[in-house]
Homo-oligomer: A and B are copies of this chain.
Amino acid sequence: MTQLQVLICNDDGINSEGIYALAMEISKIAEVTVIAPATQQSAVGHAITVNYPLRAVPFQKNNCFFGYAVDGTPADCVKLGVKFLVKQKPDLVISGINHGSNTAINIIYSGTVSAATEGTILGIPSIAVSLTSYTVLDFSYAAKFTSRLALLVAERGLPKGTLLNVNVPAAPEDQIKGVVVTKQGISVWEDRFDARRDPANREYYWLTGAMNVLDTEDDSDQIAIKNNYVSVTPVKYDLTDKELLVKMKEWNVEGLK
Type the 1/0 row for A165-181, where 1 means its CB is closer than 8 Å to any CB of B: 00000000000101111
Question: Which single member of B40, B50, B196, B242 contacts A183 (CB below 8 Å)?
Answer: B242
Contact assessment for B49 and A47 in the assembled complex, using a CB-CB cutoff below 8 Å: no
Contact assessment for B251 and A152 in the assembled complex, using a CB-CB cutoff below 8 Å: yes
A46 within 8 A of B: yes
Question: Which single member of B50, B178, B193, B240 contacts A254 (CB below 8 Å)?
Answer: B178
Summarize A's interface: helix, strand, loop or mixed: mixed
Residue of B nearest to A146 (CB): B256
Q: How far is the CB of A75 from chain B (nearest CB, A)?
A: 7
Contact assessment for A107 and B239 in the assembled complex, using a CB-CB cutoff below 8 Å: yes
Residue of B nearest to A249 (CB): B181
Chain A: residues with Cβ within 8 Å of the partner, total of 79
Copies in the complex: 2
- For the complex, what is the distance from the CA of A55 to the CA of B203, rounded to whole Å? 7
A205 within 8 A of B: yes
Q: Which residues does chain B contribute within 8 Å of A253, judged by CB atoms?
A: 149, 152, 179-181, 232
Interface positions of A (Cβ within 8 A of B): 40, 42-51, 53-56, 75-76, 79-80, 83-84, 105, 107-109, 114, 117, 121-122, 145, 148-149, 152, 156, 158-159, 161-162, 176, 178-181, 183-184, 188, 191-193, 195-196, 202-207, 230, 232-245, 248-249, 251, 253-254, 256-257
